[in-house]
């Protein structure tokens, strides 16, 4: 199967390679993640969070990023509290 790519200079180009769409790549990554054990999933999530923390610590915008993260956590906490408040009420 060939893939058609469009180039501004040359028009349409046929390539013998087929590149996956973003949706296909994401579906494959999700399937790989689902195949992990619970422990491996937790380790994977912790690894991503640790990498994010490292990037924030090394960033020249560390103060802004920490402030933004805190405001996002506060918004999420508030949204959860409102959701529970709406749906936990008994008639």
Q: CA 30 to CA 19: how far, in whole Å?
A: 18
Q: Is pLDDT larger for residue 26 or for residue 10?
A: 26
Per-residue confidence at 4, pLDDT binned at 50, 70, 90? Answer: low
pLDDT tens track for 11-69: 677 778 888 999 999 999 999 999 999 999 999 999 999 999 999 999 999 999 999 99
Which among 6, 27, 24, 26 is positioned nearest to 15, based on CA atoms?
6
Structure confidence at residue 82 (pLDDT): 94
Structure confidence at residue 73 (pLDDT): 97
Structure confidence at residue 13 (pLDDT): 73
């Amino acid at each position: 199967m060939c893939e058609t790519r469009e180039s501004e200079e040359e028009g349409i180009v046929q390539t013998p390679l087929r590149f996956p769409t973003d949706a296909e790549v994401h579906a494959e990554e999700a399937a790989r993640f689902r195949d992990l054990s619970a422990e491996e999933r937790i380790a994977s999530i912790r690894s991503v969070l640790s990498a994010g923390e490292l990037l924030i610590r090394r960033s020249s915008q560390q103060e802004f990023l920490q402030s933004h993260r805190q405001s996002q956590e506060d918004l999420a906490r508030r949204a959860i509290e409102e959701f529970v408040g709406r749906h936990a009420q008994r008639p």
